[in-house]
Amino acid sequence: MDGQLLLICLLTASINLIGSLAYAARIAGIRTGRIAMSFALFNILVLVSRMSNSFLGPFLAKRIETRIVSGGGEALAGDFRMVLASASLAVFVGILLVPTAQRLFARAIGWFQRNRSTARLVLHMASPSGLAAIRQAITMPKVAHLKNLRRPKAMGWGLLVANMLAQALITVGVLASLYAGYLNPEFRVTASQLSAVVNGFATILLFALIDPQLSVMTDDVVEGRMDEASFRKVIVWVSLSRLAGTMAAQALFLPAAMAIAWIANYV
End-to-end CA distance of the chain: 35
Say what the pLDDT of residue 236 is: 85
The CA angle 247-90-34, to the nearest 5 degrees, is 110
Question: Whole-angstrom Cα distance, residue 226 to residue 97?
Answer: 24
Say what the pLDDT of residue 243 is: 92
Contact between 163 and 202 under an 8 Å Cβ cutoff? The reply is no
Say what the pLDDT of residue 148 is: 64
Q: In tens digits, what is the pLDDT along the chain, a chain of 267 residues?
A: 677 788 888 888 888 888 888 888 888 888 777 777 777 777 777 777 666 666 777 888 888 878 777 766 677 888 889 999 999 999 999 888 888 888 888 887 877 777 777 777 777 777 787 777 777 777 777 665 555 667 777 677 888 888 899 889 888 888 888 888 888 888 888 888 887 788 778 878 877 778 888 888 888 887 878 887 788 888 888 889 999 999 999 999 999 888 888 888 887
Sort residue 72 into left (φ over 0), alpha (ψ -120 to 50) or beta. Answer: left
Say what the pLDDT of residue 121 is: 73
Say what the pLDDT of residue 75 is: 77
Contact between 13 and 225 under an 8 Å Cβ cutoff? The reply is no
Say what the pLDDT of residue 86 is: 92
Among the listed residues 33, 87, 45, the one whose alpha carbon sits nearest the alpha carbon of residue 249: 87
Element at 9 (helix H, strand E): helix 3-21
- Output the CA torsion sign for 114, 118, 124, 125: positive
135 contact partners, CB below 8 Å, separation of at least 6: none
Contact between 101 and 24 under an 8 Å Cβ cutoff? The reply is yes
Report the Cα 129 to chain-centroid distance in Å: 29
16 contact partners, CB below 8 Å, separation of at least 6: 49, 86, 87, 88, 90, 91, 94, 171, 246
Say what the pLDDT of residue 20 is: 84
